[in-house]
């Protein structure tokens, strides 16, 4: 039995799917219906429109910001720039952010934003005008601020857009000491943090590595434990997909397939992710890459090729009832939000597969965003205060050991042992610890209740319990 009964009548919208999963998991908790309804509902949905100048005329832009839960403050979530974005999608993603933050023990409520545009259709100046006007509209309604609601990059946005948001907010709030904490995912030069750009992809890779390290679970799905030699197909060569593939390869996996909107490539002997990336940068397509043994003009065909692990890291609803029976992977690691439909998930589990759910698997981004927010509030880079102290302590230890043993270490050995941690190393350490602890917390919930049938349900149960405790402790005012 899987999280969702495909025979049941249900809503086909994204937010409806999230709520259905929530309701299914809620039966494994002891909270009353009123509290569960408070947790599930979106607290604030702000839909607005604003004009921009284009040529000699105007264009009206549709935009949203949804704050799903204020059980922790501020709320947190990215801003999506896409022609496909709509209110239902933003509400669903905001809800997933609440549960995601709870799962990885990041003290934020969930939020999400959306601007209904295709960034490729606008000039740089027009994009800047849209982003700054969006920020102003949020500020007018108190939907942004370091202690209120903190946006981040999402599909279609990045460091550049976050810089514009930070500058606009700071300009509108002169003298606010923590103004740069109003948004995360900023460039390092603008009080960003090392490791943020690759954090989501690194988190996906750590989640996969941790999952396949559990021998008991791998035996049930017919795989040997360990990441080494596992064949992986990744959908999406954007920030998340590229870094997921890169770090999985570094951990010892074999990247055999890559899928993008223009098509897919496959080589059972492995693909060089950096070479494919450079080829696409030069030609505009992954097709034609000389190291590929098979090409598919339809991207979704690439998902159906032989592999052990499939990482959908593009958009939602990529694995559906129409193609799930052709998926040959034993594990789906959801790098994107909502890439697997509820019906497809039920079939995949029934066929002996396993899914690492999105709200845990891609939580690396919000985890490191939390670190960036802390850095902005403290106004001190991680490692700056203690790095030299650690190096001096380590040096004294090495000198003492060499004096006692009479064995001199090589310069390379000494420098490796003595070196203090940089900001990047501390960030990666914090991310790895978070992902490992959270996975085993979810797995324990999964294993300790035989009625909980998927990791997604277990993740929802963990999230619901944590959010419920926060609401219970806050009470109701007035």
Task: Return the active site residues.
Answer: 112
CA-wise closest residue to 372 among 133, 67, 153:
153
Question: What is the CA 62 to chain-centroid distance, rounded?
Answer: 25
CA-wise closest residue to 204 among 283, 294, 313:
313
Q: Sort strands 57-67 and 109-115 into parallel, antiparallel or unpaired.
A: antiparallel
What would the two tokens of residue 7 be? 């025979």
User: Around Cβ 51, how many Cβ atoms within 10 Å?
Assistant: 11
What is the Cα–Cα distance from 216 to 199, expressed in whole angstroms?
28
CA-wise closest residue to 166 among 185, 177, 154, 182:
182
The DSSP string of 182-225 is: G--S--GGGT--TTSTTHHHHHHHHHHHHHHT-HHHHHHHT--S
Q: Is 420 left (phi over 0), alpha (psi -120 to 50) or beta?
A: beta
What is the Cα–Cα distance from 136 to 124, expressed in whole angstroms?
18
Contacts of 277 (CB under 8 A, 6+ apart): 237, 242
What would the two tokens of residue 372 be? 């960036």
């Amino acid at each position: 039995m899987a999280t969702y009964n495909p025979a049941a009548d249900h809503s086909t919208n994204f937010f409806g799917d999230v709520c259905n999963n929530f309701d299914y998991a809620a039966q494994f908790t002891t909270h009353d219906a009123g509290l569960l309804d408070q947790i599930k509902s979106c607290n604030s949905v702000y839909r607005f429109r604003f004009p921009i100048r284009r040529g000699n005329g105007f264009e009206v832009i549709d935009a949203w910001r949804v704050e799903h839960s204020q059980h922790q403050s501020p709320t947190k979530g990215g801003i999506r720039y896409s022609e496909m974005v709509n209110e239902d999608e933003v509400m669903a993603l905001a809800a997933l952010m609440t549960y995601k933050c709870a799962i990885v023990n990041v003290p934020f409520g969930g939020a999400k934003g959306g601007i209904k545009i295709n960034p490729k259709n606008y000039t740089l100046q027009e994009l800047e005008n849209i982003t700054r006007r969006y920020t102003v509209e949020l500020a007018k309604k108190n939907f942004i601020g370091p202690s209120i609601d903190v946006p981040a990059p999402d599909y279609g946005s990045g460091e550049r857009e976050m810089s514009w948001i930070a500058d606009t907010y700071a300009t509108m709030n002169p003298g606010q000491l923590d103004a740069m904490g109003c948004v995360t995912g900023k460039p390092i030069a603008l009080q960003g943090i090392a490791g943020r750009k690759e954090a989501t992809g690194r988190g996906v890779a750590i989640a996969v590595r941790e999952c396949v390290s559990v021998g008991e679970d791998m035996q049930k799905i017919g795989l040997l434990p360990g990441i080494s030699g596992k064949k992986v197909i990744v959908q999406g060569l954007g920030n998340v997909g590229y870094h997921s593939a890169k770090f999985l390869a570094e951990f010892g996996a074999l990247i055999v397939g890559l899928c993008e909107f223009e098509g897919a490539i496959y080589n059972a002997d492995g693909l060089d992710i950096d070479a494919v990336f450079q080829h696409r940068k030069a030609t505009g397509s992954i097709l034609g890459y000389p190291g590929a043994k098979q090409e598919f003009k339809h991207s979704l065909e690439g998902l159906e090729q032989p592999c052990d692990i499939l990482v959908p890291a593009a958009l939602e609803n990529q694995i559906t009832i129409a193609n799930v029976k052709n998926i040959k992977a034993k594990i789906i690691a959801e790098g994107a939000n909502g890439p697997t439909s509820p019906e497809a998930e039920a079939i995949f589990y029934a066929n002996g597969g396993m899914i690492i759910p999105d709200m845990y698997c891609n939580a690396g981004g919000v985890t490191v965003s939390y670190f960036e927010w802390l850095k902005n509030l403290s106004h001190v880079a991680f490692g700056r205060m203690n790095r030299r102290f650690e190096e001096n302590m380590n040096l004294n230890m090495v000198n003492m050991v060499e004096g006692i043993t009479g064995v001199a270490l090589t310069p390379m050995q000494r420098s490796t042992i003595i070196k203090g941690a940089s900001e990047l190393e501390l960030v990666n350490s914090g991310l790895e610890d978070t992902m490992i602890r959270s996975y085993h917390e979810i797995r324990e919930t999964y294993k300790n209740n035989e009625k909980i049938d998927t990791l997604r349900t277990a993740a929802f149960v963990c999230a619901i319990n944590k959010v419920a405790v926060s609401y219970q402790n806050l009470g109701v005012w007035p």
